[in-house]
Amino acid sequence: MNAKVSGPFTLPPLPWDEGALDPVISARTMSFHYGKHHKTYVDKLNELSAGTKYAEMPLEKVVVEAAKDESAKKIFNNAAQVWNHTFFWNAMKPGGGGKPTGELAAAIDASFGSYDDFKKRFAQTAVDQFGSGWAWLVVNKGKLALSSTSNAATPIAEGITPLLTIDVWEHAYYLDYQNKRPDFANAVIEKLINWDHAAAQLRGAGSLKAA
Among the candidates 90, 115, 130, a domain finishes at: 90
Phi first, then psi, for residue 130 (nearest 5°) are: -75, 130
Residue 207 has pLDDT above 70, yes or no: no
The verdict on 72 and 155 lying in the same domain is no
Would you place residue 2 in the very low, low, confident or very high pLDDT band (cuts 50, 70, 90)?
Answer: very low
Regarding whether 189 and 120 lie in a shared domain, the answer is yes
Q: What is the mean pLDDT of residues 27-38?
A: 98
| Mean per-residue pLDDT over the chain, rounded | 94
Q: Taking the CA atoms of the chain, what radius of gyration do you get in angstroms? A: 17
Q: What is the three-class DSSP state of 190?
A: helix
Would you say residue 27 has pLDDT above 50?
yes
pLDDT for 6 beyond 80: no
Element at 59 (helix H, strand E)? helix 59-66
Mean of the pLDDT values across residues 199-208? 85
Query: Is the per-residue pLDDT at 100 higher than 80?
Result: yes
Q: What is the DSSP code (8-state) at residue 209?
A: P
133 and 189 inside one domain = yes
- Local confidence band at 72 (pLDDT 50, 70, 90 cut-offs): very high
Across 104-116, average pLDDT: 96
* pLDDT at residue 46 tops 90: yes
> The domain spanning residue 85 has which CATH number?
1.10.287.990
With respect to residue 195, please indicate whether it lies within any of the assigned structural domains.
yes
Q: How confident is the model at residue 210 (pLDDT cuts 50, 70, 90)?
A: low
pLDDT of amino acid 206? 73
Q: What domain count does the chain have?
A: 2
Going by the annotation, the residues of the binding site for Mn(2+) are 33, 85, 167, 171
Domain that holds residue 55: 27-90
- Same structural domain, 63 and 110: no
C-alpha to C-alpha distance for 150 and 28, rounded to whole angstroms: 25
- 123 and 76 in one domain? no
Q: How confident is the model at residue 208 (pLDDT cuts 50, 70, 90)?
A: confident
pLDDT in tens, 146-197: 999 999 999 999 999 999 999 999 999 999 999 999 999 999 999 999 999 9
Provide the annotated binding site: 33, 85, 167, 171
Same domain, 64 and 112: no
Give the pLDDT of residue 4.
40
What lies within 8 Å, CB to CB, of 21 at 6+ separation is 30, 92, 94, 192
- Here the CATH number for the domain that contains residue 149 is 3.55.40.20
| Same domain (yes/no): 69, 155 | no
Please check whether residues 198 and 120 belong to one and the same domain.
yes
